[in-house]
Amino acid sequence: MNELKILVVDDEPGMRMGVERSLRNYRFKLPGFDEEVFFNIRMASTGKEAVEMMELEKPDILLLDHKLPDLQGLDILLDISQKKLDILTIMITAYASLEVAISATKHGAFDFLAKPFTPDELRNAVQKAAKQIFLQRQAQKLAAERRQVRFQFISVLAHELKSPIAAVEGYLRIVDKHMLGDDIGKYDTMIQRSLRRLRGMQKMILDILDLTRIEAGTKNRELTDVNITEVALECIDGVTPDAKDRGVSINLESPENITMHADRGELEIIFNNFMTNAVKYNRDNGRVDVKVQPDEHGVTLVFSDTGIGMTEEEQNRLFGEFVRIKNEKTKDILGSGLGLSIVKKLLAFYDGTVDVKSVPDQGTTFTVRLNKKDEASR
């Protein structure tokens, strides 16, 4: 919307006409906004008339003479603030009286124009007001979008937490009613499956905490020169038990002692996510190749697996929140669907990127780029 409604309130007909003439054909563009702004001008000669007109149709900007025959300009300002109307008021004062100015500001006036003023002064004042209105609208729109995203996140989250609770509750009811008889051994599968669902839920809650901490900017970052090779080796140690269970071998190709100015915890999360995925979504007796490739601007990390791979459609969905690639091959793999969302948020700290290449039943390669940031720009 690029038409702004202005209500001019002044008891002098000459004044109203002058304002109308100055603004009637006035069009301008605001920096950062594409559309031209112009004004729809209405006029009132008394305070009472102004109040009635505002009730009928709310103006965006009010050009308000301080001295009116029936009411004071301040009375109208008070009325606006009481009714919580979203109107920017520019007070017109006969002389630049400091007293009136202070009092009007207190009651919510946005700006002043001292009589007599030139058409240019008037245009400058309304342009300033228009800018304020558009910035406000933009901020409101952003806030609304943010609320929407958060609402969506919370409803998906609620659903994701409800599923494991329903599963565990169902098993407990079966045990409670001894539906499989009195032999406790008969319930082993159900108990194991319940524990598994609870573990999955725990993992999800921890991931959500990580994600919200990063998003809220409350995560403490400790930047030191981190030995990336060391982080990679530690991470390999961490996933080795799971890899061994399935005969998956892990190979690291890295120059020794590569360092990068970074938060160690963040690099650990990044490595861990790709490494555990490479093991989880691998085939039995498969392999995982990790490459650390430094250059003068940063470092490239490559994680390749010989696993189940993904279709193009699955790759496109991969980085969404709570997205888990569900198919026959992945149905028994546990995950929160938040790992890659977290990684993506962390990569932003390093002007980083992540690319995925995958072929179903052959494997997936993630290429992660971390860039050094200028000390000066930090």
Partner 1 sequence: MNNINKKKSILAVDDDSDILLQTKVYLEAAGYEVSTAESLKDAEALLQSYKPDLAVLDLMMETQDSGFVLSYKIKKIDPAIPVIIVTAVTSQTGIAFDLTGSGESSWIKADAIIEKPIRCEQLLSEVKRLLP
Task: Name the site residues for partner 1 (rule: CB under 8 A).
Answer: 155, 159, 162-163, 166-167, 169-171, 173-174, 177, 179-180, 189-190, 193, 197, 326, 328, 331-332
Of 225 and 361, nearer to partner 1 (C-beta) is 361
Q: How far is the CB of 286 from partner 1 (least distance, A)?
A: 24
Of 183 and 332, nearer to partner 1 (C-beta) is 332
- For residues 304 and 282, give the distance between their C-alpha atoms in angstroms, rounded to a whole number: 10
Q: How far is the CB of 324 from partner 1 (least distance, A)?
A: 12
Tell me how far apart the 2 most distant CA atoms of the chain are, in Å.
Answer: 99
Other C-beta atoms within 10 Å of 363: how many? 23
Q: How far is the CB of 180 from partner 1 (least distance, A)?
A: 7
Of 21 and 162, nearer to partner 1 (C-beta) is 162
- For residues 284 and 273, give the distance between their C-alpha atoms in angstroms, rounded to a whole number: 19
Question: Mapping DSSP to helix (H, G, I), strand (E, B) and coil, where does residue 66 land?
Answer: coil
DSSP 8-state class, residue 332: T
Q: How far is the CB of 314 from partner 1 (least distance, A)?
A: 13
Of 251 and 316, nearer to partner 1 (C-beta) is 316
- For residues 298 and 180, give the distance between their C-alpha atoms in angstroms, rounded to a whole number: 59
Task: Enumerate residues 6+ apart whose C-beta is below 8 A from 257.
Answer: 227, 229, 230
Q: How far is the CB of 196 from partner 1 (least distance, A)?
A: 9
Closest CA relative to residue 63, chosen from 125, 112, 7: 7
Q: Between the CA of residue 257 and those of 144, 221, 227, 297, 310, what are the distances in Å?
A: 47, 22, 6, 16, 34
Of 96 and 333, nearer to partner 1 (C-beta) is 333
Secondary structure percentages of the chain, helix, strand, coil, to 5: 50, 20, 30
Q: How far is the CB of 194 from partner 1 (least distance, A)?
A: 8
Of 197 and 373, nearer to partner 1 (C-beta) is 197
Q: Between the CA of residue 66 and those of 4, 5, 46, 52, 249, what are the distances in Å?
A: 22, 20, 11, 18, 82
Q: How far is the CB of 153 from partner 1 (least distance, A)?
A: 15
Other C-beta atoms within 10 Å of 31: how many? 5
Of 173 and 246, nearer to partner 1 (C-beta) is 173
